[in-house]
Amino acid sequence: MTLKSTIARATAKSAYWFLHTILHRGGTSLPGKLAVSIDPNILTTIQKDFDLVIVTGTNGKTLTTALITRVLEAGGYTVITNPSGSNMVQGITGTLVTTKIKPSPNGKKPIAVLEVDEANVETIAAAIKPKMFVLTNLFRDQLDRYGEIYTTYDKIIAGINHAPEAVVLANGDSPIFLRGDFPNKRKYFGFNHIQAADYQPEVAPINTDGILSPTDDSVLTYDFITYANLGKYFSATDDFARPKLQYQVTHVDTLTPRYSTFNIDGTPLRIEIGGLYNIYNALTAFAVGREFNVTPEQIKTAFESNAQIFGRQEAIKVEDKDVTIVLIKNPVGTNSVIDMMKTEKDDFSLLTLLNANYADGIDTSWIWDAEFEKLHDTNMKAVATGGERYQDLRVRLKMAGFPDQAVYEDLKQIVTAIKAFPTRKVYIAATYTAMLQLREQLGAAGYIKGGF
């Protein structure tokens, strides 16, 4: 380690200490910025201390990264990871330079598992040669801020090209990941839970993107679709088809809003969170764990002994109401949440909150690509709308066939809104800044501790 990098690291650590201990503020961006300003090559210098796994894609990065961390720890590795939200260059640098890396209990090299924003993959990969790229999925996402999905994938490929030795472990159910010209070894995970006799070949519904064959740009047919553009696909015009999967979900037993049970490569597993999409996150973590020789038993233990990490979908109590809060930010995520609500056996009410600040995406047109009409297939008994853009949601739900809605223009009325619902179970689906405001209200009313 050079003197410059030692100073850079020391400065970042004291800045981190000052922020966290004296000011009680989170965040790793400022320490990262300081370290880079003192030694621009700081990332390259520290990379010998660990192997890097980059996790990227549109949805599920945070939970997948958390799960991979627990799985690798269960396998005896020391793991460094970045906190949720710190997935851009500054934050990642901050995380890496301020963490004291202990030797792995299993004697192997420690692993850094980093959730990396799609547009930042290249910068990180150029500075630190990753051992593995993990690609979760690509959906359209807040197009006022991000590019189109093929452009996004090109950015990821630019990063992959910096590390030809790295394994690319990709979601094989996503046809876009079969594109791209790079020499890396590719491995795939996916779903194979439906018997061939039960295949019902179909093209994806209209509001699905990324459904063109990499060979001739024809529209792909699916033997089955798990959700959005994910499933077992083939081309009707040539012999292109989903590749062989190295890791697969072979059986889905139970889907409930609170937990799912399923089977990956012969291992029965349970995760304490609802939604088929979260089984993908577990599958991804399973695949990474197996790649690093973590045993299926250790992975199972990792999932079962860390129930609290499934925290993003949050359950709280407001008087006699059981409230579940979920984040919505794009059509695929919202459809997945609605699919999860279809597995709710009890009557419930739904409060939807829409804001259009920068962090939410300032274009609200995506709500028309989400299939709120499917709420008719659930046990939903009442629906209400709110948030700064309540008007958009009110009309969206009205045109989806829900004319009777309570409308809350002011988020200060949220507690009132929850109490007014006719059912004991309440779901709140909110965009990012609406969720922050909601948490503040619930915190002020004493229903959640702290806040953040």
Partner 1 sequence: MTDYNISVAHLYGNLMNTYGDYGNIIALTYYAKQIGVSVNYQLVSLGDHFDNENFDFVLFGGGQDYEETIVAKDLKNKAQQIKQYIENDGPLLAVCGGFQLLGHYMVMANGQKVDGIGVMDHYTTNMHDQKLTVLNDKRLTGNIVIKNNDTDETYHGFENHQGRTFLGAGERALGTVVSGNGNNGMDKTEGVIYRNVYGSYFHGPIFTRNGNLAKRVLATALSRKYPEIDWTDKLNQIETETF
Catalytic residues: 363
Residue 430 as a binder of partner 1 (CB under 8 A): the answer is no
Residue 148 as a binder of partner 1 (CB under 8 A): the answer is yes
Closest CA to 157 of 147, 145, 168: 168
Q: Which of 396, 414, 428, 433 binds partner 1 (CB under 8 A)?
A: 396
Binding part of the chain for partner 1, among 116-124, 264-272, 377-385, 387-395 by CB under 8 A, reads 387-395
Distance CA 38, CA 3 (A): 11
Query: Nearest approach, Cβ of 212 to partner 1 (angstroms)?
Result: 7
Residue 363 as a binder of partner 1 (CB under 8 A): the answer is yes
Closest CA to 63 of 253, 231, 279: 279
Distance CA 162, CA 185 (A): 14
Q: Which of 73, 209, 344, 360 binds partner 1 (CB under 8 A)?
A: 209
Please identify, using beta-carbon distances, which residue of 305 and 365 lies nearer to partner 1.
365
Pairing of strands 230-234, 221-227: antiparallel
Distance CA 158, CA 122 (A): 6
**216-245: contacts with partner 1 (CB under 8 A):** 217-219
Contact 276, 252 (CB under 8 A): yes
Please identify, using beta-carbon distances, which residue of 135 and 323 lies nearer to partner 1.
135
Please identify, using beta-carbon distances, which residue of 94 and 231 lies nearer to partner 1.
231
Residue 383 as a binder of partner 1 (CB under 8 A): the answer is no
Contacting residues for 339 by C-beta, under 8 A, at least 6 apart: 227, 275, 276, 374
DSSP conformation class of 196:
G
Query: Nearest approach, Cβ of 81 to partner 1 (angstroms)?
Result: 32
Residue 398 as a binder of partner 1 (CB under 8 A): the answer is yes
Q: Which of 223, 347, 392, 440 binds partner 1 (CB under 8 A)?
A: 392
Binding track, positions 157-196, relative to partner 1; x by CB under 8 A: ----------------------------------------
Residue 151 as a binder of partner 1 (CB under 8 A): the answer is yes
Residue 150 as a binder of partner 1 (CB under 8 A): the answer is yes
Binding part of the chain for partner 1, among 60-68, 95-103, 201-209, 312-320 by CB under 8 A, reads 201-209
Phi-psi map region of 397: left, alpha, beta (phi>0 left; psi -120 to 50 alpha): alpha
C-alpha angle 300/305/306, rounded to 5°?
105
Question: Which residues, listed in sequence order, are joined to residue 225 by a DSSP beta bridge?
Answer: 231
Please identify, using beta-carbon distances, which residue of 95 and 137 lies nearer to partner 1.
137
Residue 407 as a binder of partner 1 (CB under 8 A): the answer is no
Q: Which of 149, 163, 351, 397 binds partner 1 (CB under 8 A)?
A: 149
Please identify, using beta-carbon distances, which residue of 143 and 309 lies nearer to partner 1.
143
Distance CA 136, CA 56 (A): 6
Distance CA 373, CA 391 (A): 17
Residue 405 as a binder of partner 1 (CB under 8 A): the answer is no
> What sections of 18-60 are H helices per DSSP?
29-38, 42-46
DSSP conformation class of 21:
I
Query: Nearest approach, Cβ of 448 to partner 1 (angstroms)?
Result: 32
Query: Nearest approach, Cβ of 219 to partner 1 (angstroms)?
Result: 6
Please identify, using beta-carbon distances, which residue of 318 and 429 lies nearer to partner 1.
429
Q: Which of 7, 194, 212, 241 binds partner 1 (CB under 8 A)?
A: 212
- C-alpha of 57 from chain center: 8
Closest CA to 119 of 54, 184, 27: 54
C-alpha angle 445/448/452, rounded to 5°?
105
Distance CA 350, CA 382 (A): 6
Query: Nearest approach, Cβ of 395 to partner 1 (angstroms)?
Result: 5
**What is the torsion angle, in degrees rounded to the nearest 10, for the CA atoms of residue 179, residue 183, residue 189 and residue 194?**
50
Q: Which residues bind partner 1 (CB under 8 A)?
A: 140, 143-144, 148-151, 203-209, 211-212, 217-219, 362-369, 391-392, 394-396, 398-400
